[in-house]
Amino acid sequence: MLDADRYLKQAIALARENVERGGRPFGAVLVMDGDIIATGVNGVVETHDPTSHAELVAVRDAALRRRSPILKGAAMYASGHPCPMCLAAMRLAGITDISYAYSNEDGASYGLTSAALYADLRKPFAEQEMSFTYRPVRPEGEEDLYVQWGRMQTG
Residues 56-115 binding its own copies (CB under 8 A) are 56, 59-60, 63-64, 66-71, 79, 81, 83-85, 87-89, 91-93, 95-103, 106-107, 110, 112
Residue 102's φ and ψ, nearest 5 degrees, are -120, 125
In the complex, the smallest distance separating the C-beta of residue 102 from its own copies, rounded to whole angstroms, is 7
Give the whole-angstrom CA distance, residue 90 versus residue 92: 5
In the complex, the smallest distance separating the C-beta of residue 71 from its own copies, rounded to whole angstroms, is 8
Site for its own copies in 113-142 (CB under 8 A): 117, 120-122, 129-139, 142
Give the whole-angstrom CA distance, residue 70 versus residue 93: 5
For position 28 contacting its own copies by CB under 8 A, the verdict is no
In the complex, the smallest distance separating the C-beta of residue 35 from its own copies, rounded to whole angstroms, is 19
Residue 105 annotated as catalytic: no
CA torsion angle 61 66 69 75 (round to 10): -70
In the complex, the smallest distance separating the C-beta of residue 36 from its own copies, rounded to whole angstroms, is 16
How far, rounded to the nearest angstrom, does the alpha carbon of residue 59 sit from its chain's CA centroid?
Answer: 7
CA distances from 113 to 11, 14, 15, 46, 96 (A): 17, 19, 15, 20, 21
Q: How many residues bind its own copies (CB under 8 A)?
A: 75
The single residue of 17, 20, 46, 55 carrying the catalytic annotation is: 55
Select the residue interacting with its own copies from 3, 73, 119, 145 (CB under 8 A): 145
For position 19 contacting its own copies by CB under 8 A, the verdict is yes
Give the whole-angstrom CA distance, residue 88 versus residue 86: 5
Query: Could you give the residue numbers annotated as active site?
Result: 55
